Amino acid sequence: MITNYLDIKLEVKKAIANNLPVVALESTIISHGMPYPQNKETALHVEQIVRDNGAIPATIALINGKIKVGLTEDEIDYLAKSGSKIVKASRRDLPYLLAQKIDGATTVASTMIAANLAGIRIFATGGIGGVHRGASQSFDISADLQELANTNVAVVCAGIKAILDLGLTLEYLETFGIPVLGYQTEELPAFYTQKSGFKVNYKMESTSDIAQLLKTKWNLKLKGGVIIANPILKEKQLDFDIMKIAIDKALVEEKELGIKGKDSTPFLLGKVKELTDGLSLEANIELVYNNAKLAAQIAKEFNKLVL
C-alpha cells in the first residue's frame, strides 16, 4: 500500500482534503544547493513566499523510510546541516532508499512522483534537468524528462539548467509531448538569465490561462507534466556573456577530470558558482523565490477550476 510509504504533514493533508492550493517543493536544493545556514534560510523563505501568495508549501524528502510530504522546521534544519551526506534521490533510488530507511533529498523527478502520489499538481523548483552536452556519445539525459512525460505535475521553473544542451532538451520534450509554456515571455529562459536564443511553445499571459491549460490537458487524459518557464527577474539575472564563459570553462574542466553521470550537474553548478564569484548562486536563489511566488498563484487559479 502506498500509504505505508507516504507521510503527509497534517497541514498539507487538510489542505488537499479541502481542495486548498498546495505547492510541492524539492529538497535537493537544501542538502546539495548551498552551505548551512544559507540553505535552511532559503528553504524557509521559499515556504513563506508560497504562504504569502495564498498556498500551502509541501517540501518533500525521504526520512526514516517514509516519503515526507511537508517538512517541519526541524526536518529542514536536519537536511540543511547534513548537506551532501544526504543521498540525492531520483526515481531509480526510491525503492532502495525507502526499503533501507536511508534518508534522501528529492530531485525534480522524485518530487514529482511524491507530489503526484499525494495529489499535488503544482511544483516549484529552480531549473529542470535535461539532455547533457555531448549526450550523443554519453547518452546522459536527466530522469526529469521521462518523469515529465509520465507524471501529471506542472513544474514551475526558470527554464532548463543553462549548463545543458537546451536545443536537444527541447527536441526531447517535443518528442514526448511535454508543453513548454513561457510565463509572459516567448523566449525560453536559461536559468540564470532571461535570454537563451530558443523559443517556448506557447506564451501565457496570465496564471488563469495556465491553470485552464492544465485542467484541459489532464481532462483529456493526456498524461504527463507541463513546464512553466518563468524568467528570472531582469534586475536579478546574471550577465549572459559572463554566464557563457563560466559554463564553457566548467565544461572543459569536467571533461579533463572525467566527471560523468549524476556527479556532472553538481560539479558544473559548483564550478560556475566559483567562476562567477558566487553571482550564479545569488541568481539561483532569486529565481527560486520568483518561481515559488508564481507556483502559488497558479495553484490558487487551478484549484478554482477543480472545485
Marked catalytic residue, from 9, 26, 68, 88: 26
Catalytic status, residue 66: no
Q: Are strands 122-124 and 154-157 parallel, antiparallel or unpaired?
A: parallel
CA proximity to 74, closest of 82, 66, 84, 65: 82
CA distances from 4 to 8, 109, 187, 271 (A): 11, 21, 43, 40
Question: Which ranges in the chain belong to alpha helices (H)?
Answer: 10-17, 28-31, 38-52, 73-82, 94-100, 108-118, 135-138, 143-150, 166-175, 207-219, 240-257, 264-275, 279-305
Tell me whether the omega of the peptide bond preceding residue 37 falls within 30 degrees of 0, making it cis: yes
Catalytic status, residue 273: no
The answer to whether 128 and 41 have CB atoms below 8 angstroms apart is: no
Question: Among all chains, which residue has been given the C-alpha cell 510509504?
Answer: 5
In angstroms, rounded to a whole number, what is the distance separating the alpha carbons of residues 307 and 20?
9
Marked catalytic residue, from 9, 88, 161, 273: 161
Where in the sequence numbering do the catalytic residues fall? Answer: 26, 161
